[in-house]
């Protein structure tokens, strides 16, 4: 799990089972609800800590 720099969102990795794709859920920490989800490929098992870039609307991210 990674928290956005503004402390508004949590990005949570959800590992896929078997051949299923994994995903990253985006959770609003203000509303405590799921606001977005992105598939990240098969057997994704976590988020590496490092530089996190988020768009102004908080919906897209890229880990360098």
In the predicted structure, residue 55 carries a pLDDT above the cut 80: no
- What integer pLDDT is reported at residue 35 of this predicted model? 96
- What integer pLDDT is reported at residue 4 of this predicted model? 85
Q: How far apart are CA 11 and CA 25, in angstroms?
A: 6
Buried b / exposed e across 48-57, counting CB within 10 Å, b at 16+?
A: eeeebebeee
DSSP element (H, E) containing 49: none
Q: What is the value of pTM for the model shown? A: 0.67
- What integer pLDDT is reported at residue 15 of this predicted model? 84
Count of the separate structural domains present in the chain: 1
**Residue with more model confidence, 64 or 25:** 25
**Residue with more model confidence, 58 or 17:** 17
């Amino acid at each position: 799990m990674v928290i956005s720099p503004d402390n508004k969102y949590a990005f949570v990795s959800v590992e896929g089972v078997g051949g299923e794709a994994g995903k990253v859920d985006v959770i609003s920490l203000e509303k405590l609800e799921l606001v977005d989800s992105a598939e990240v490929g098969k057997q994704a098992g976590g988020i590496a800590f490092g530089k996190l870039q988020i768009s102004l609307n908080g919906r897209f991210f890229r880990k360098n």
